[in-house]
Amino acid sequence: MPRVVKLFPGNAGSTSLVKLHPEFRPVVKAVRRCDTEALLTAYEQVTAGVDPTWAVNAVTEIDGIERRLERIVATGPESLIPQTMLGGRYIVAGWRIRSANLAKNVSGAQFAAFHEHLRKAEGVLSEVTSAEPDNVAAWTLRLTAARGLQFGLDEARRRYSMAAKAYPNPLPAQRSLIQQLCPKWGGTFEQVHQFARDCMAEAPAGSAAGLLVAEGHIENMFAEQSSKYLRREEVRRELDEADQRSVGHPAFAGGYATRAAYSVFAFVWHMIGDSRRATPYFRELGHRATNYPWTNFPDGSLYRRARRAALDG
């Protein structure tokens, strides 16, 4: 198995949502045109009945989009959606400045710019949550900001509780808190695994919540620098249960998290060496897996080779 390397500490699963979900394109196009009315219309269409954080994230991953968002916000629209997106974009831009390197390899100038971006985001998003305490996207984004600014576990849990109060089983917020609960950010793996199990138990069977259990164990594997961790009997048992309650459930409906769920379960079964379990997920993914967790390896061809081996086996 390939040796595990450092993990990017930003948003888990930060792949190109617009490429994976073309329905987000009208939202992005409206922002690029600084057309507030079209933006709000497109946003309402893609967020009907789902966690709006996904639509916000689709915009925030676009390089340079903050300049358009700043122009929109400056016009003073009644809606706080553009302001939420702007705060989110500052966070993403800040994490990219920080880079994927371990802290010891990040320069002082990088850290200064990183924290400056996160403080700007905090200023923007705190105004949003003060005016709209039920804005789940803003609370989810503030979870990521809190992690980078090292506000601690208590504040992270408070922000998560606000997101969960605003929207039931808020998967993007749950994935963010999973990162915060890891030892590298001041938590413990006992907290990680308990939180993941609790979230899965509270979510309906057939949802994507099982990926939280898988991601918790992936993080534990990264920390131990060995894929042998995933082959432990108790770990494999939990992964099997998470699979059966999510991607392996007859009623699986993962929504915007579907590809992320397939990606993490294809990964864990591949690392365990169970190609039978991994194959259907590789087949569903085709050539478009999410970045996490595949890009945490020095070998950029790992996904392609793993998929080929599973489908040819």
Q: What is the mean pLDDT of residues 200-223?
A: 97
Q: What is the mean pLDDT of residues 255-283?
A: 96
Q: Which pTM was predicted? A: 0.92
Model pLDDT, residue 14: 39
Q: What is the pLDDT of residues 82-134, one digit of tens each?
A: 999 999 999 999 999 988 777 888 899 999 999 999 999 999 999 999 999 99
Q: What is the pLDDT of residues 45-81, one digit of tens each?
A: 999 999 999 999 999 999 999 999 999 999 999 999 9
Q: Which residue has the higher pLDDT, 235 or 10?
A: 235
Model pLDDT, residue 105: 87
Q: Is the pLDDT of residue 8 over 80?
A: no
Domain boundaries, the chain: 1-169, 188-313
Model pLDDT, residue 300: 67
Model pLDDT, residue 15: 54
Q: Is the pLDDT of residue 5 over 50?
A: no
Q: How high is the mean pLDDT of the chain?
A: 92
Percent of all residues in the chain with a pLDDT value above 70, rounded to a whole number: 94
Q: Read off the pLDDT band of 4 (50, 70, 90).
A: very low
Q: Is the pLDDT of residue 26 over 50?
A: yes
Under CATH, what is the fold of the domain 1-169?
Answer: 1.25.40
Q: What is the mean pLDDT of residues 216-245?
A: 97
H, E, C per residue of the chain: CCCCCCCCCCCCCCCCHHHHCHHHHHHHHHHHCCCHHHHHHHHHHHHCCCCCHHHHHHHHCCCCHHHHHHHHHHCCCCCCHHHHHHHHHHHHHHHHHHCCCCHHHCCHHHHHHHHHHHHHHHHHHHHHHHHCCCCHHHHHHHHHHHHHCCCCHHHHHHHHHHHHHHCCCCHHHHHHHHHHHCHHHCCCHHHHHHHHHHHHHHCCCCCCCHHHHHHHHHHHHHHHCCHHHHHCHHHHHHHHHHHHHCCCCCCCCCHHHHHHHHHHHHHHHHHHCCHHHHHHHHHHHCCCCCCCCHHHCCCCCHHHHHHHHHHHC
